[in-house]
Amino acid sequence: SQTIHQWPATLVQPVGSPLSLECTVEGTSNPNLYWYRQAAGRGLQLLFYSVGIGQISSEVPQNLSASRPQDRQFILSSKKLLLSDSGFYLCAWRGNYEQYFGPGTRLTVT
Amino acid sequence: AQKVTQAQTEISVVEKEDVTLDCVYETRDTTYYLFWYKQPPSGELVFLIRRNSFDEQNEISGRYSWNFQKSTSSFNFTITASQVVDSAVYFCALSEYASGGSYIPTFGRGTSLIVHP
């Protein structure tokens, strides 16, 4: 069966510090992968998606970037965090048509 | 462009009541997919159901049932005899067929369901 992992679970970072969030999927090959952010108020904002290694599509211009160095690894990064980057970050992979989400990372930028 | 509307921001019920969460969608495609997800307080979104545009059969899974009506562009979700554990935010989503396989879904803003004991 497929499993999706995200870490860390929670993170508190000062403004201006770098960020690296990692997501890995097990039990499937060449999955479509997605990064979402959920700020207070519940809405899901798609940040990046990837249909294969090295292929990244950005949905929202911002100070975040994503990379897919391996088939089942998806990384979200920032060189300098802003206060507005605080939120709940979710990684997902696509099954047949639905998405399966990881446990999420709660990021607080102070 | 696709759009999903969940007009109910928050619903509060007492345990054992039935509750229906509404979802209305817009799409120009004839082939599309509809989904419901549950987000409990822990935060992880859990996939509940997928419906294809060419399959209007309603579905029942235990206390959960889904009513898909293309004529009204709605995909409503009913919980029968609600329980406290049903308290969560529920998201409806729509995905159109996309060449290249990207399948980017559009999510509604979610409905927060609070079930009181």
Taking an 8 Å cut-off on Cβ atoms, the answer to whether B104 and A46 are in contact is yes
- Give the C-alpha distances (Å, rounded to integers) separating B10 from A42, A77, B38, B40, B46: 12, 34, 14, 14, 19
Whether the per-residue pLDDT at A61 is higher than 70: the answer is no
Residues from chain B that touch A90, judged by Cβ atoms under 8 A, are 43-45
Contact A86, A107 (CB under 8 A): yes
Whether the per-residue pLDDT at A65 is higher than 90: the answer is yes
Question: What would the two tokens of residue B38 be?
Answer: 């549950």
What is residue A12's predicted lDDT score, i.e. its pLDDT? 97
Within 8 A by CB and 6+ apart from A45, the residues are A36, A37, A38, A39, A59, A60
A105-109 and A10-13 as β-strands: parallel, antiparallel, unpaired? parallel
What is residue B99's predicted lDDT score, i.e. its pLDDT? 59
Taking an 8 Å cut-off on Cβ atoms, the answer to whether A94 and B103 are in contact is yes
What is residue A67's predicted lDDT score, i.e. its pLDDT? 96
Higher pLDDT, A41 or B67: B67
Chain A closest-CA separation from residue B110 CA (Å): 7
Which among B42, B103, B107 has CB closest to A97? Answer: B103
Whether the per-residue pLDDT at A42 is higher than 90: the answer is no
What is residue B55's predicted lDDT score, i.e. its pLDDT? 86
What is residue B7's predicted lDDT score, i.e. its pLDDT? 96
Chain A residue with the nearest C-alpha to that of B47: A100
In DSSP notation, A72-94 reads: TEEEEEESS--GGG-EEEEEEEE
Which among A42, A92, A98 has CB closest to B89? Answer: A42
Q: What's the start-to-end Cα distance of chain A, in Å? A: 38
Chain A closest-CA separation from residue B17 CA (Å): 25
* Residue A72: pLDDT band with limits 50, 70, 90: very high
B73: three-class secondary structure by DSSP = coil
Q: Using a CB–CB cutoff of 8 Å, tell me whether A53 touches chain B.
A: no
Per-residue pLDDT of chain B (117 residues; tens, 9 = 90+): 789 999 999 999 999 999 999 999 999 988 899 999 999 998 999 999 999 998 888 888 899 999 999 999 999 999 999 999 999 999 999 998 765 667 789 999 999 999 999
Residues from chain B that touch A92, judged by Cβ atoms under 8 A, are 45
Give me the mean pLDDT over the A6-30 stretch.
95
Residues from chain A that touch B37, judged by Cβ atoms under 8 A, are 101
